[in-house]
Structure 1
Amino acid sequence: MAPPPAHAFSVAPMMDWTDRHCRAFHRVLSRRALLYTEMVTAPAVIHGDRDRLLGFDAVEHPVALQLGGSDPAQLAEAARIGADYGYDEINLNVGCPSDRVQSGRFGACLMREPELVAECMAAIRAAVSVPATVKCRIGVDDQDPVQSLFGLVDACAAAGVRHFVVHARKAWLQGLSPKENRDIPPLDYPLVHRLKAERPGLEIVLNGGLETLDMAQEAGQGLDGVMLGRAAYHTPALLGEVDRRVFGADTPDVDAHAALEAYRPYLAARLAEGVPLPAMARHMLGLMHGRPGARAFRRILTVESVRPGAGLEVVDAAAAAVREAEARRTEAA
């Protein structure tokens, strides 16, 4: 029996969060989960500092590049550049509701233009040999979710797209902030399941509101995968169970302390290159969530990492605070 594909579990693309340091950290917790970049606009890829925008460490594989845009020619060129950098997948953002994204005519507002999205995806597919995928909402504003979701998916499927990540909420482009758009519009998991049932030949991944691994596995039954965003970022220790629970790996779960030890070589290499410790430490703040000493862990990483010359000793001190708190609790018991 073949093991589940990488998209059986993925960590969502999140602006200002899932940068290369975050992805390298998540990778020490799960060897199998599919990781995504932050969204990068096609013009930025074409005209910007490509190494800064697209550079990543080989340890991050499998890793997907998420693009933003609505010009087929630009997206094709950006996809080609991304594939040349070695990304394992090119994903188009049809779900972000921010004002900045709307003004650039990409993101969730493209739910209103399924034929344009299909044209963009056809151009991307023609430009690269790696999978070209779509991440979308179920609709925007007053759209009928059934019509908007099925319309977008069917248009893209006609262009050869087989893989869709569906954030199971509408996006309200007027009246709600991007943060509110992640919480207020109601979730509609049954609609995503209906999409899979009526389009069984497509690969459908569920995203939105999945707060724990248990919840994700239950909500994703019958689908091709689940994607977690904020839960994976704020409580990354759950990723330490993914390889065993989702992918069936015959390996022990990755403990938070073991993850820190595994992340040390990456931290050391980046520090030697001049990357400041806070740029990496900020992604680790939730690692000890729920454990004794978690508050001290966060405080040490936050306060001590900004001191001039801060290095691995700060991470060691934060981990030691947790071990000491755990030892005290064990003694008290």
Structure 2
Amino acid sequence: MRPFKYTNAKDVPSALKLAAGNPNARFLAGGTNLLDLMKEDVERPDELIDITRLGLTQIKATGSGGISIGGLGRNTDAANHPLVRQHYPLLSQAILAGASGQIRNMATNGGNLLQRTRCPYFYDVAMPCNKREPGSGCGAMEGINRMHAIFGWSEKCIAVFPSDMAVALAALDAVVKITNASGEERVVDFADFHRLPGDMPEKDTNLSHGDLITSIEIPKNNLADHSYYLKVRDRASYAFALVSVAAAFEMKGNLISKVRIAMGGVAHKPWRAMKAEQMLIGKEPTEANFKLAANAEMADAKPLEHNKFKVELGSRSIVRALQMALNGGKS
């Protein structure tokens, strides 16, 4: 690890001022991803600004009937909070599917959204990686790409985004509240928070340097009774998703009136399965309809040499997640 300066921010204004004064500084919260990247010489900040004492941890109901989750709150607290478990069980399931209990106890909600890909070519500084070093090439393109993207990738990057929490937030139409280096606040729809790689894979999000995530808000919905997070992985513990699906819907009589489906492990950002959603509106929640919707979504997949299995796996995972959601998460 390279030498760096450590600065303890006392409040939000001082944290923003410190970040604005050093373009190579990084905020330090739980540190569960950033410190690993620094040890591997992938990230090279010369200053870490400790923001763990800024507050921003509260979880509370909003005036509009939704929920606000503090950006510096811990993943464990978000997953186990009564408001989350009762009204947004999809989010609780997704958080608990990620990492280990020890990491969830340290990792923050805002940091979860900012974690970087676990692509081995990104982590290996001896290999070319446009995300780590723009213009150097993509080692995964001609390498072992079993874990990589089947949607939204470009010739510059085929890495996938690793978060489970973010997949559920995408399905729940969350928004992210951000304060910039000048102290100005803005709200970003979750669909616009993360980026596809395009020609700039080094940019994972649409944040600017010094932007601070203050909270994540989820609007009121009636999805809790029919929701489920499915994660398919190589082993049952502490593994990133081959494919994951956050599925939730509302019923009106015998028909689906509203549906949300997001996928993880398949793209550079949480992937909203819009085609599948559109096909299910006004339909009965049958296995046949679930299969038609899943196959329609996966028809646009562009698999690579080693991850062709993700197309069939993705289709089956969408069907399974919707079936589990129909039964309230019970087999």
Q: Please classify the TM superposition score into its range, dividing by the shorter chain length.
A: under 0.3
Q: Given the two structures, how large is their TM-score scaled by the length of structure 1?
A: 0.23
Q: TM (normalized to structure 2)?
A: 0.23
Bigger fraction of residues in helix: 1
